[in-house]
Amino acid sequence: MSDVVGYEVRGRIAVVTIDNPPVNALGHAVRVGLIEQIDRAVADDAAGAIVLIGAGRTFPAGADIREFDQPPRDPHLLTILDSFDAVEKPIVAALHGTALGGGLELTLGCHFRVAAPGARVGTPEVKLGIFPGAAGTQRLPRVAGLDHALELIVMGEPIGAAKALDYGIVDEIIEGDLLDGAIAFAEKVLEDGTPRPISSEPKEGIGTPEQFAEVIQKYRDLAARRMRGQESPLEAIESVLDGLRMPYEQAVAADRERFPRCKDSDQSKALRYAFFAEREAAKIPGVGKEIQPRPVETGAVIGAGTMGGGIIMCFADSGIPVTAIETSQEALDRGRIDEAEMARRVALISTSLDYSDVGGADLIIEAAFEDLELKKEIFAQLDGVAKPGAILATNTSYMDINQIAAATGRPEDVIGLHFFVPANVMKMLEVVRTDTSSPEAVATGMRVARAFGKVGGLAGVSHGFVANRSRAPLVREAIFLVEEGATPAQIDQVLRDFGLPMGVLAVSDLSGIDVSWRMRQSLAHLRDPEERYVHLADRLCEMGRFGRKTGSGWYTYGDGGSLPVPDPEVDEIAAAVAAEQGIERRQIDDAEILHRCLYAAVNEGAKIVEEGVALRASDIDIMWQYGFGFPRWRGGIMYHADRVGLPEVLARVEEFHAAHGKLWQPSALLCDLAASGGSFTG
Ligand SMILES: NC(=O)c1ccc[n+]([C@@H]2O[C@H](COP(=O)([O-])OP(=O)(O)OC[C@H]3O[C@@H](n4cnc5c(N)ncnc54)[C@H](O)[C@@H]3O)[C@@H](O)[C@H]2O)c1
């Protein structure tokens, strides 16, 4: 008998318990055990109904992802739930924890579902490049209606028990002991002789695709917007539509062909890579489970500008009281803390002009101007007022945090917490470990990322840390390409076609091209005369073309508009700069644009890994994804380079090195891996 699926009879109810820690994944042994124990209950005269429940912290949380890359092994989950349809004893699934993917599909094979109040259900398969392939796309619409089913299947976000009840996915919410409640529910079904709903059977209210055209279009549009370029949501919709067009058996047969095609696609492989890369990013050598993060129950933010305002929201949204410090009342008043938002969270946010008001904070995040001397001053001041053990963090984009830490008498408590714009929206948080940061400080940074609903990734001190440093060469090449004859619109189109949410020059216009201009000016003394320089970007700034906020930059913006419009003047300016620099302008093909932009970033990424500034190449990929909106279905820039083949990437880098000089110096790691047949991401 199975050792991962248990059986007992309570009164006249058979209880089948899946016990496969940690999350009761529906691996092969569980599937075999399920068949055995359900058969046993069917044959058991003492049992009138069956309750199916998970031991430990959750109902099966999904399929066993480790089995993904292996050939499928019988029994398939689908066979199991199809067999439930013929079981004449009512089967009640009792849900707690997270019943996701195959876990939810299993419950759809059951006749009834009850749930603990904290249970969550969902079908996140599209996020792995597949769709709910054990008839979830057929059964869920019949249980929840087409609109709700598409919401779950296409968007992949889980919902809570209350919503699941509302959607008809759950029949009852059980307060108190779940098993007792589920048994009582089963007893009542027996007593009332409630008919068993069978979710593979045709159901009233489910019509033809034509009848549902509007709903279907809504989800096609949503998928195109939120997961642009990703195939799995569209495949999932097709699968659901099959269920409207044909009988259950035929639709399931169509799925059987569709599923392997999705699973074996490049996109699915990249999405699975991203899934594991995200988990990996949380692992930091030297900061194991034995390291206790410090509790963060109160926060403070220094500087309530663009970034500070967003960071204040992060605290408030997480229920952490926060004090905002500014230099003047006017600055606080014009502060970017939206007033309505502020009112809603007012109980959690307080403002002050006095540094001593942050004395009680567990975590202080500085987001003042990007100026090293100012930041050193602020940290010296904080050192004087912050309580012992407080974590002092800076949101600097480029400054040397070792120097900032050295301005305090407690450099071990100083880290970088680098947010992305907008700070309360973007999911990435780069946690910067200085030469002196304690493991506790780093652990606290990673914990704060989670508390803010973000993904933490570790970086070492370096100009731009990991994310901005690896992205800067892409922007640089885009500018050079305009000098050489491409238009901003052409470059941005190539990058968008590749999957980026926005073209890189349109992004520059949005955030202001003067920001990096000022930084270049402050670092002018460090400039290497042998390296090619972005003269064109300087020229636009000298002309006051700072981007969207001044009405023109790489594009022009008519009448305060937000839509970038190609501007022939940029072409004229570029031609003039090219003439001054002795650059011969030419037609540039799309492939060169893509390779120049991407491989410049990959080569820099390789240097970042080589220097130990990033722990692993996959961390760079996670940062691009959650910090810059790089398409998850591409895996990331480093993963993409591996797929292209490192010898080919290196050959291009060497070509560009020969043509454009020093900035293209190939990374030693890239050379080694290309020569040895290795890869960045395994
Ligand atoms: N804007 C971005 O895209 C971005 C992204 C990541 C990180 N950062 C970094 O975040 C920091 C802030 O950038 P921002 O864009 O929010 O700038 P900002 O100019 O919008 O805001 C800075 C705020 O700090 C206040 N301030 C200045 N000195 C202060 C002091 N001594 N005490 C208290 N408040 C003070 C200013 O009044 C201003 O409101 C910079 O270090 C920047 O590099 C910016």
- What dihedral angle (degrees, nearest 10) is formed by the CA atoms of 158, 161, 162, 167? 70
306 lines ligand 1 (CB under 6 A): yes
Percent of the chain past pLDDT 90, that is, above it, reads 92
276 lines ligand 1 (CB under 6 A): no
pLDDT digits 0-9 by tens, 392-403: 999 999 999 999
**How far, in Å, from the CA of 397 to the mean position of ligand 1?**
10
307 lines ligand 1 (CB under 6 A): yes
CB atoms within 10 A of CB 539: 18
Buried-state track 488-503, b at ≥16 Cβ within 10 A, e below 16: bbbbbebbbebbbbbb
Q: In sequence order, what are the beta bridge partners of 392? A: 364, 414
At residue 596 the predicted structure's pLDDT band, cuts being 50, 70 and 90, is very high
395 lines ligand 1 (CB under 6 A): yes
**How far, in Å, from the CA of 449 to the mean position of ligand 1?**
20
6 lines ligand 1 (CB under 6 A): no
pLDDT at 203 over 80: no
Nearest alpha carbon, ligand 1 atom 15: 306
Number of the ligand 1 atom closest to the C-alpha atom of 366: 11
Give the model's pLDDT for residue 339. 65
Give the model's pLDDT for residue 591. 98
Nearest alpha carbon, ligand 1 atom 18: 305
Pairing assessment for the beta strands 414-419 and 363-366 based on DSSP bridges: unpaired
Give the model's pLDDT for residue 65. 79
pLDDT at 225 over 90: yes
**How far, in Å, from the CA of 101 to the mean position of ligand 1?**
43
- Pocket probe mutation, ligand 1, options 312, 329, 395, 399, max atoms within 8 Å of Cβ: 395
357 lines ligand 1 (CB under 6 A): no
> Which token pair is 131?
């769709």
Round the average pLDDT of the chain to a whole number and report it: 95
- Pocket probe mutation, ligand 1, options 307, 517, 518, 523, max atoms within 8 Å of Cβ: 307
At residue 655 the predicted structure's pLDDT band, cuts being 50, 70 and 90, is very high
Chain center to CA of 296: 24
**How far, in Å, from the CA of 306 to the mean position of ligand 1?**
7
At residue 340 the predicted structure's pLDDT band, cuts being 50, 70 and 90, is low
**How far, in Å, from the CA of 395 to the mean position of ligand 1?**
8
Please give the backbone phi and psi of residue 364, each rounded to the nearest 5 degrees, phi first. Answer: -115, 125
Number of the ligand 1 atom closest to the C-alpha atom of 374: 31
CA 234 to CA 262: how far, in whole Å?
11
pLDDT digits 0-9 by tens, 46-64: 999 999 999 999 999 999 8
Reduce the secondary structure of 344-400 to three states and give it as a string: HCCCCEEEECCHHHHCCCCEEEECCCCCHHHHHHHHHHHHHHCCCCCEEEECCCCCC
Q: What interhelical angle do 136-144 and 232-245 show, nearest 10?
A: 70
381 lines ligand 1 (CB under 6 A): no
Rg (CA), the chain: 28
370 lines ligand 1 (CB under 6 A): yes
Give the model's pLDDT for residue 549. 92
**How far, in Å, from the CA of 370 to the mean position of ligand 1?**
6
Mean pLDDT for 196-205 is 85
To the question of pTM greater than 0.85 for the whole model, the response is: yes
The answer for residues whose C-beta is within 8 angstroms of residue 263's C-beta and 6 or more apart is: 68, 129, 130
Mean pLDDT for 85-108 is 97
**How far, in Å, from the CA of 513 to the mean position of ligand 1?**
16
Helix or strand or coil: residue 113? Answer: strand
CB atoms within 10 A of CB 277: 25
CA 52 to CA 14: how far, in whole Å?
9
At residue 2 the predicted structure's pLDDT band, cuts being 50, 70 and 90, is confident
Mean pLDDT for 35-54 is 97
pLDDT digits 0-9 by tens, 550-587: 999 999 998 778 899 999 999 999 999 999 999 999 99
Nearest alpha carbon, ligand 1 atom 38: 305
Q: List the catalytic residues.
A: 105, 125
Nearest alpha carbon, ligand 1 atom 34: 303
CA 562 to CA 300: how far, in whole Å?
33
**How far, in Å, from the CA of 653 to the mean position of ligand 1?**
36
Give the model's pLDDT for residue 674. 98
369 lines ligand 1 (CB under 6 A): yes
pLDDT digits 0-9 by tens, 483-525: 999 999 999 999 999 999 999 999 999 999 999 999 999 999 9
At residue 209 the predicted structure's pLDDT band, cuts being 50, 70 and 90, is confident
pLDDT digits 0-9 by tens, 617-626: 999 999 999 9
pLDDT at 180 over 90: yes
597 lines ligand 1 (CB under 6 A): no
508 lines ligand 1 (CB under 6 A): no
pLDDT digits 0-9 by tens, 385-424: 999 999 999 999 999 999 999 999 999 999 999 999 999 9
> What are the helix and strand counts (H, E) for the chain?
28, 17
